[in-house]
Amino acid sequence: MGKKKKIKKGLGRRIGEWLVLNRRLTAAERLGNRLGYMGSAFIMMSPYLLPYDNLGAYTYLIGAVLSIPQVFLAKQWNLVVINLNLLIGYGLYLYR
């Protein structure tokens, strides 16, 4: 039982630990992540639901609305624009 061996950390591991900041997520970030996962699930199932009285178009809209908070909080502006484009495109599709 004696002494515990100290494991020597390599240079790569030290650099990795130095670059990564350990922090807790805020309530808004946790909620945004959960909504984003739910929105992604709606978007993934939508193509299969399009033939059924355009149900897929509605699920696309729901998925885009649910996933916007996650990408907005993460400042992933390209995905915010894609989701807004999805909202406009399928909104016009259902309007006509």
CA–CA separation, 89 and 95 (whole Å): 10
- In this predicted structure, the answer to whether residue 74 has a pLDDT above a threshold of 80 is yes
pLDDT digits (tens, 9 = 90+) for 8-66: 678 877 787 777 777 788 899 899 999 999 999 999 999 999 889 889 999 999 999 99
* pTM beyond 0.85: no
Give 24-88 as a 3 state SS string. Answer: CCCHHHHHHHHHHHHHHHHHHHHHHHCCCCCHHHHHHHHHHHHHHHHHHHCCCHHHHHHHHHHHH
- In this predicted structure, the answer to whether residue 5 has a pLDDT above a threshold of 90 is no
